[in-house]
């Protein structure tokens, strides 16, 4: 098995595999495909996202479907913060607008825990939204795909 494929990214994580796991998660979320995203979580996965509690893949799909109906033109960047064994901590930012054209940059941190197969069984997310002007947007790649590999990271953007 290729050590750089998402299927091979299982605990215990090294810096390299944790970084690859974070990028794979970013790419999945940038697809805005709730079914695709849900498959990297255990069937009984537990989330806390802001003040909402989500349990299992069906609720993950419902949550993400609702999220991406509200958060239009969503673009996300994740960055590894720390890792240990089966856990990864991530910081992230994403930009989106609502149906009235109001833009936001949402900042947050996530704590993830994985099972032995590399599926996430716990996700805890804290997120804050900052209203921005369209002219302040930084995440400007084509929204139809993942962030290009040469697009700056959060640290390179000064975020």
Q: Which domains does the chain have, with CATH numbers?
A: 6-136 (3.10.450.50)
pTM of the model: 0.93
Nearest to 54 by CA among 42, 46, 62, 65: 46
What CA–CA distance (Å, rounded) separates 9 from 38?
A: 17
Tell me the pLDDT tens digit for each residue of 93-111. Answer: 999 999 999 999 999 999 9
Tell me the pLDDT tens digit for each residue of 61-99. Answer: 999 999 999 999 999 999 999 999 999 999 999 999 999
Q: Can you list the pairs that 132-135 forms with residues at least 24 positions away whose Cβ atoms lie under 8 Å?
A: 132/95, 132/103, 132/104, 132/105, 133/103, 134/97, 134/101, 134/103
What CA–CA distance (Å, rounded) separates 89 from 113?
A: 9
Tell me the pLDDT tens digit for each residue of 19-41. Answer: 999 999 999 999 999 999 999 99
> What is the predicted pLDDT for the residue at 1?
39
């Amino acid at each position: 098995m290729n050590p750089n494929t998402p299927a091979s990214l299982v605990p215990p994580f090294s810096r390299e595999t944790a970084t690859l796991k974070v990028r794979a998660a970013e790419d999945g979320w940038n697809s805005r495909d709730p079914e695709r995203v849900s498959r990297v979580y255990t069937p009984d996965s537990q989330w806390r996202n802001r003040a909402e509690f989500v349990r299992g893949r069906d609720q993950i799909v419902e949550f993400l479907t609702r999220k991406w109906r509200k958060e239009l033109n969503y673009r996300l960047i994740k960055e590894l913060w720390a890792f240990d064994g089966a856990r990864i901590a991530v910081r992230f930012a994403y930009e989106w607008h609502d149906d009235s054209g109001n833009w936001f940059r949402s900042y947050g941190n996530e704590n993830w825990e994985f099972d032995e197969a590399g599926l996430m069984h716990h996700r805890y997310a804290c997120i804050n939204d900052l209203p921005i002007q369209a002219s302040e947007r930084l995440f400007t790649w084509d929204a139809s795909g993942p962030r290009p590999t040469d697009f700056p990271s959060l640290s390179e953007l000064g975020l």
